[in-house]
Structure 1
Amino acid sequence: MLIALWILNAVLALAFVAAGTMKLARPKPALVASGLAWADDFADPTVKLIGAAELAGGIGLVLPLLTGIAPILTPIAAAALAVVMVGAVVVHIRRSENATPSIVLGVLSAASAVLGFLVVL
């Protein structure tokens, strides 16, 4: 089970670190122009906060388990990312956009949380 957790968390960490870094590094108009139209509905600090949450969650999926320092934080990060993805699904559905990527990431994050709690505890 530990190997499955590592594989799942590595894939999720790559996705969330990339998405979070993009939201933090690029200005809101550039995000909207690149296809993230939902960002136009939010203030710039809110978009940056979402990016910071995704970046911190992505790091939290791997770092505690890797270092052995407070490994319980790994499934907690996964659960928090699942909550963030619930919010993303709601936003995309309200805007009549494709919510499939957010649903997939949310389900995988929830699976990581469950698997993480089973492995860590």
Structure 2
Amino acid sequence: MHVAYWITAGLLAMFYLCSGGLKLLRTSEQLRPMMAWVDSLPMPVVRALGAVEVLGSLGLILPPVTGIRRWLALAAAIGFVVLQIGATRVHVSRGDRRIALNLVLFCVAVVTMWLSTSWL
């Protein structure tokens, strides 16, 4: 069960660390080709989402590695589930039906959430 957790958590952490890092470091013009929705939100909100994604990535990895407050891994996985529900709603509300990545990330986050209960 721990191996499966590390696989799913590692994939999620890598994706969200990259995605969050881009949101923190790039301008809206640089983000627009990858994320068309950035124009519909103020840039401080996009930066905040990036920070949440980076912190969530750390939350998936550091608590199980250090053994300190392992429940934070579950909280981070729940956060990513909620994040993908919101992201899917944003895409659908804008008329963008390309939500396959959101659905895959949602499913991986749900599995990671379930697997993270083994750390409790």
User: Fold-level match, TM-score > 0.5?
Assistant: yes
Q: Is residue 2:53 matched to residue 1:54? A: yes
Partner amino acid for 1:120?
W
Query: Which ranges of structure 1 fall in alignment gaps of 5 or more residues?
Result: none
Partner of 1:35: 34
Partner of 2:17: 17
Partner amino acid for 1:40?
D
Task: Give the alignment's TM-score, normalised by structure 1.
Answer: 0.94
Partner amino acid for 1:111?
V
Partner-residue secondary structure (3-state), 1:96: coil
Partner of 2:119: 120
| The 10-residue stretch of structure 1 (17-26 or 95-104) with the greater mean CA deviation from structure 2 | 95-104
Shift of 1:107: 1.5
Partner amino acid for 1:76?
A
Task: Give the alignment's TM-score, normalised by structure 2.
Answer: 0.95
Partner amino acid for 1:26?
R
Partner amino acid for 2:91?
H
Query: Which ranges of structure 2 fall in alignment gaps of 5 or more residues?
Result: none
Shift of 1:103: 1.4
Partner of 1:99: 99
Partner-residue secondary structure (3-state), 2:70: coil
- What percent identity do the matched residue pairs reach? 34
Partner of 1:3: 3
Q: How many residues align?
A: 119
Deviations 1:3-55 (A, max 9, x none): 100111011100000000000000112111x2311010000000001111111
| 1:71-82 equivalences in 2 (<5 Å) | 71-82=70-81
| Deviation >4 Å, runs of 4+ | none
Partner amino acid for 1:109?
A
